[in-house]
Amino acid sequence: MAAETTDLDRMRDQARRWLDDDPDPASRDELWAVLDRLPASAPELADRFAGPLTFGTAGLRGPLRAGPNGMNLAVVTRAAAGLVGWLAAEGGEGPLVIGYDARHGSREFAERTARVATGAGRPALLLPRPLPTPVLAYAVRRLGGVAGVMVTASHNPPQDNGYKVYLGAQLGGALGAGAQIVPPADAGIEAAIRAVGPLAQVPLGPPGQVLGDDLVAAYVERAVAVIAPGPRDLRVAYTPLHGVGAAVLTAAFARAGFPTPGVVPDQAEPDPAFPTVSFPNPEEPGAVDRLVALADATDADLAIANDPDADRCAVVVREPAGTGTGWRMLRGDEVGVLLADHLMRRGVDGLYATTIVSSSLLRALCTARGRAYDETLTGFKWIVRAGGGTPPLAYGYEEALGYCVAPDHVRDKDGITAALTVAELAAGLKAQGRTLTDRLDELAAEFGVHHTDQLSVRVDDLRIIADAMARVRAATPTTLLGAPVTEARDLLPDADVVILRTAAARVVIRPSGTEPKLKAYLEVVEPVAEGDVPAARTRAAAALTTLRAEVATALGI
């Protein structure tokens, strides 16, 4: 009992020190309510103070709540002060460019970041309204920003928000101009954040300059320039999933000469509650049900979804007549290779890159077509730096629906230009009486069926993930699908990743960098005999089902 009392007293002291420093009355009231419910609220209070949010994939991300282990005005003020302090210490000159999505708190956090920047004597340029993340990445390059901040939690649940940081050419170099931060910048910024003193001593300046719509128009013009002249007859159904993509995407399609996509009516406007989806990620079950219904009702040729900040792009296609399966969302690997193949056919030269968890088909394609290839750790912060710039990056993708089709335009994943390029490909195929699935079958006939999938487990207790990773390291499988494991790689300490390969299968196991998930990325390669692609797909699907069960057993989940 004495120990419990001591813990409660310690947590109360922590909370009261935070309250003394918190600039937001609403956040203070929220934390006082938690204190008033002690001792029943002790687990919640302990979680709020378990530690500060740390820089993960390019910045901060967490639930909207009071306390250091959440996204709130105090955490954002401290993050902004640390960032502008680090920029000054590194000798970075120029404006800080700031964008935001339509989530709860996003505009407030963006405006606070601008005032912290101007209070430190640095110009702040604020995007004119809630806009896609790729518009911010573009703006950093176009406006010569020393750095950029995007307030977004991408496709996370409604209760989350986040804070992504980009560097300009001055501190990020040619490869990192307008790209997400990488080590050692992330560690340097985090150290600078920890060194920030009382928030009352952080000077707040004027609100900065709000940019005009000419910036958005310039982004659209550059996006449209990504695709080539050609057929434009294509009926598209579209959803932004209550996010910020609709206005920019429809403007880009119209400017490119495509018919205006039909937009899912009750998902067209930004809404931070995401009321029609249980989870605002196109990959989640049920997320695109309304999109498919619209595509059916309008006899669309294909359907496209962006995630809420429009940096990802999902493609849903009608299955061939007679299959009885209706519509199917293409896997990220399928879209990734379709786009790579399309760009190669258009004569786009340079480096083609993907990540260690993506399909091996891109490597095979590059080998056959004489294109340079590289693979990186997961994340576009690595993809855009693939190969060290020699040859220059032509295209990069990751299986999580992220595609960079124009690195000189946006040096990050971009769901708007990806959607345009998919539409260009689909319209060209339609003019020939063919479809995206026809092209996938052609690639399978040439290179074999590369069937990929995930084993993904969401957890409430992160120790489950740590235990599973320890288990597979301690007892690494020696066979998969009855074949010997020919390669077993542990990427520690550089990355918490285990890779297993056989002659015809590959497994990559890692914790998610943005969500409380353990992920195993699975691939089976099945040769196509006598041109019978459907039979090869059936065999590959069966093998992958078996592989998933074997990996689940090895992880103990």
Catalytic annotation, pick one of 27, 154, 358, 359: 154
Whether the CA torsion 7, 12, 14, 15 is positive or negative: it is positive
Q: How far apart are CA 38 and CA 397, in angstroms?
A: 48
Nearest Cα to Cα of residue 311 among 146, 162, 476: 162
Amino acid at 153: A
Q: How far apart are CA 505 and CA 483, in angstroms?
A: 9
- Please give the sequence-ordered ranges of beta strands (E in DSSP) within 205-259, or none if there are none: 209-210, 236-239
Q: What are phi and psi of 399, to 5 degrees?
A: -65, -15
Q: How far apart are CA 166 and CA 361, in angstroms?
A: 30
Q: How far apart are CA 167 and CA 176, in angstroms?
A: 7
Nearest Cα to Cα of residue 244 among 214, 281, 272, 279: 272
Q: In degrees to the nearest 10, what's the CA dihedral of 125, 403, 182, 359?
A: 170
Query: By three-state DSSP, how is residue 333 classified?
Result: helix
How far does CA 171 lie from the centroid of its chain? 23
Which residues lie across from 354 on neighbouring strands? 375
Q: How far apart are CA 309 and CA 416, in angstroms?
A: 10
Residue found by looking up tokens 């199917």 in the block: 328
Q: How far apart are CA 511 and CA 457, in angstroms?
A: 10
Q: Pull the structure tokens for residue 499.
A: 């890779």
Query: Is the N-terminal amide bond of 184 cis, ω within 30° of 0?
Result: yes
Q: How far apart are CA 396 and CA 410, in angstroms?
A: 12
358 labelled catalytic: no
Query: By three-state DSSP, how is residue 428 classified?
Result: helix
Instruction: Write down how long the chain is.
Output: 557
Amino acid at 424: E
Residue found by looking up tokens 């994939």 in the block: 57
| Residues designated catalytic | 154
